[in-house]
């Protein structure tokens, strides 16, 4: 009885122990399962939150790209519209300048057509009036260009304000992007694309070379840099602003460059057109007989040299307009003004020389007629009267002196030369005794005085002329008796070297 009583508690206790152990194991397993479920739920929630965050970030990046594209498009359209307005206004000014220059040239031509006996006095006045009109119109053109520049700068100011407003929105987006390492390369690539787009549509390399080279170098360094993403994104943001500033500066510099270029181009076109028209033009003489005057012929090739200088400037302007420095354009404008003044002077000089040449022939005829009235006779050779132009660059060059050979009642022989002075502003009379009569010094001087008086019967005074019967070496000049020599090429040059 006591043994049975003793065994029962041991068995019960053993069963209870097994139950407790199993329950403890089951609770432990349940805890592990709950822990794993909790971990899986946490991981799922973390992944879900990350997915939402990435979607939000992608939306932010897309928004940034759209904003940058929209801002770049608006900026490009504003710059294009501003450039179009500037170029249209400059083109209108260029047309107006050309019209005014054509009108000025027409008036100048009309003034020159009326040049007759008062040529020396009128030319200086007409030249000054033409120069004054050109300078006045140049000032007017500069004033208009300055006005265009002021308007353009105001437009740039408004454009910068617009860009600043957009930049504020972009800053917010950049700050959000700076927190994401994986999107950094996309921002850098977008900055490079913006730089390429600006370089392709605007000549920044030409008009803002320093900024262009500096930004280009920084973009290369950025691509090779190992800096943190936030740092690279901040640099990209700064470079975007620098790129837009560079484009604005380039457009403004190009507009100012184009002002100078259009001024030089318009001025050169007008001067070349006027100079070309004045190469050959009709002139009325005192007897109302019209004749064509060739400017280059009367200026002995100087006019063509000037035209060639103008053509050289035209080739330089047409070669690569954008790459001509502004300082060189200013020099070209000065050269054009100098060549314009030179062409006007050469035209006036050609007219004066032409008139003097015709006048020389008239004076020679008057002198010959006066001497014929006093018994002198024109010397004939081979049936031809010996009165003609001396040879110069050609035979009987009408730009040179007029000579006539006469014989007197006492077997005298005389060569009279009517030619221009050293600067070709007036005609002088020179005569040469050709005969070999032996005279005493008193008889010789008296004969010269008689000849002077007889020549002055024609109405021309010999106070500025001279008499010679020998060359500078005190030798006779027998060629003065030879029409063949006097007519030939180079006669004028040889006589000037020999006559004293």
pLDDT for residue 463 is more than 60: no
- Same-domain pairing of 147 and 263: yes
Which of 100-114, 180-194, 200-214 has the least mean pLDDT? 100-114
Q: Which of 13-22, 327-336, 426-435 has the highest mean pLDDT?
A: 327-336
Q: What is the mean pLDDT of the chain?
A: 76
* pLDDT per residue as tens digits for the range 345-354: 999 999 999 9
Higher pLDDT, 23 or 275: 275
pLDDT of residue 1: 39
Please compute the mean of the pLDDT values over residues 368-385 and round it to a whole number: 80
pLDDT of residue 7: 42
Residue 148 located in a structural domain? yes
Q: Are strands 427-433 and 466-468 parallel, antiparallel or unpaired?
A: parallel
Enumerate the β-bridge partners of residue 282: 292
pLDDT for residue 108 is more than 60: no
Identify the sign of the CA torsion 319, 302, 298, 485.
Answer: negative
- Same-domain pairing of 245 and 389: no
Q: Are 319 and 312 in contact (CB under 8 A)?
A: no
- Same-domain pairing of 120 and 249: yes
The number of angstroms, rounded, from the C-alpha of 368 to the middle of its chain's C-alpha atoms is: 56
* pLDDT per residue as tens digits for the range 313-328: 999 999 989 999 999 9
- Same-domain pairing of 68 and 207: yes
Identify the sign of the CA torsion 414, 418, 420, 421.
Answer: positive
pLDDT of residue 300: 93
pLDDT of residue 473: 47
Q: Are strands 402-407 and 384-385 parallel, antiparallel or unpaired?
A: unpaired
pTM, entire model = 0.61
- Same-domain pairing of 269 and 409: no
pLDDT of residue 455: 77
Q: Which of 277, 303, 328 is the C-terminal boundary of a domain?
A: 277
- Same-domain pairing of 367 and 269: no
* pLDDT per residue as tens digits for the range 409-440: 888 888 889 999 888 888 988 888 887 776 66
- Same-domain pairing of 220 and 366: no
- Same-domain pairing of 86 and 174: yes
Q: What distances in angstroms separate CA 373 from CA 369, 376, 408, 454, one per listed residue?
A: 6, 7, 11, 9
pLDDT for residue 92 is more than 60: yes
Residue 85 located in a structural domain? yes
Residue 35 located in a structural domain? no
Residue 292 located in a structural domain? no
pLDDT for residue 209 is more than 80: yes
Q: Which of 277, 308, 333 is the C-terminal boundary of a domain?
A: 277
Higher pLDDT, 253 or 19: 253
- Same-domain pairing of 187 and 100: yes
- Same-domain pairing of 97 and 191: yes
Q: Which of 90-104, 166-180, 200-214 has the highest mean pLDDT?
A: 200-214
pLDDT of residue 277: 92
Domain that holds residue 421: 356-498
* pLDDT per residue as tens digits for the range 172-185: 666 665 555 567 78
* pLDDT per residue as tens digits for the range 264-278: 999 999 999 999 999
Count the domains in the chain.
Answer: 2
Please give the Cα distance from 472 to 435 (Å, whole number).
18
Identify the sign of the CA torsion 423, 429, 434, 439.
Answer: negative
pLDDT for residue 15 is more than 70: no
Q: Which of 255, 277, 299 is the C-terminal boundary of a domain?
A: 277
Residue 3 located in a structural domain? no
Residue 493 located in a structural domain? yes
**Long-range interactions of 245-249: CB distance < 8 A, separation 24+:** 245/211, 246/198, 246/204, 246/208, 246/211, 246/212, 246/215, 247/75, 247/79, 247/198, 247/202, 247/204, 248/79, 248/156, 248/159, 248/160, 249/207, 249/208, 249/211
- Same-domain pairing of 71 and 217: yes
């Amino acid at each position: 009885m006591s043994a049975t009583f003793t065994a029962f508690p041991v068995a019960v206790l053993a069963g209870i122990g097994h139950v407790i152990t199993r329950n403890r194991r089951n609770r432990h397993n349940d805890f592990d399962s709950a822990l794993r479920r909790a971990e899986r739920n946490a991981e799922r929630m973390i992944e879900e939150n990350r997915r939402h965050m990435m979607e939000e970030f992608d939306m932010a990046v897309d928004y940034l790209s759209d904003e940058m594209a929209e801002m770049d498009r608006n900026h490009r359209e504003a710059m294009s519209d501003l450039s179009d307005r500037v170029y249209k206004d400059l083109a209108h000014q260029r047309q107006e300048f050309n019209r005014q220059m054509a009108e000025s040239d027409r008036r100048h031509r009309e003034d020159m057509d009326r040049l007759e006996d008062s040529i020396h006095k009128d030319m200086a006045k007409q030249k000054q009036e033409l120069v004054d009109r050109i300078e006045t119109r140049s000032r007017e053109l500069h004033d208009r260009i300055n006005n265009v520049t002021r308007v353009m700068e105001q437009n740039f100011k408004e454009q910068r304000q617009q860009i600043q407003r957009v930049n504020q929105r972009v800053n917010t987006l950049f700050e959000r992007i700076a927190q994401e390492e994986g999107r950094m390369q996309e921002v850098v690539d977008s900055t490079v694309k913006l730089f390429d787009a600006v370089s392709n549509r605007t000549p920044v390399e030409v008009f803002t070379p320093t900024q262009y080279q500096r930004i280009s170098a920084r973009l290369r360094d950025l691509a090779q840099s190992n800096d943190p993403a936030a740092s690279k994104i901040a640099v990209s943001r700064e470079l975007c602003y620098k790129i837009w500033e560079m484009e604005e500066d380039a457009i403004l510099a190009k507009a100012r460059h184009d002002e100078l270029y259009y001024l030089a181009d318009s001025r050169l076109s007008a001067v070349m057109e006027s100079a070309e028209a004045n190469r050959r033009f009709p002139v009325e003489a005192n007897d109302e007989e019209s004749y064509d005057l060739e400017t280059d012929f009367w200026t002995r090739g100087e006019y063509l040299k000037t035209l060639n200088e103008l053509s050289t400037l035209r080739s330089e302007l047409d070669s690569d307009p954008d790459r001509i420095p502004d300082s060189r354009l200013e020099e070209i404008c000065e050269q054009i003004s100098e060549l314009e003044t030179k062409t006007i002077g050469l035209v006036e000089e050609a007219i004066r020389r032409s008139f003097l040449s015709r006048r020389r022939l008239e004076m020679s005829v008057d002198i010959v007629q006066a001497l014929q009235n006093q018994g002198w006779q024109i010397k004939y050779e081979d049936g031809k009267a010996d009165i003609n132009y001396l040879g110069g660059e050609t035979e009987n060059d009408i730009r040179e002196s007029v000579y006539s050979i006469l014989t007197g009642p006492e077997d005298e022989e005389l060569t009279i030369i009517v030619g221009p002075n050293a600067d070709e502003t007036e005609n002088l009379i020179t005569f040469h005794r050709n005969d070999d009569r032996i005279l005493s010094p008193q008889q010789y001087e008296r004969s010269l005085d008689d000849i002077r008086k007889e020549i002055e019967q024609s109405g021309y005074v010999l106070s500025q002329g001279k008499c010679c019967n020998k060359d500078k070496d005190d030798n006779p000049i027998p060629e003065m008796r030879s029409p063949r020599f006097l007519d030939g090429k180079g006669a004028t040059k040889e006589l000037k070297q020999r006559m004293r």
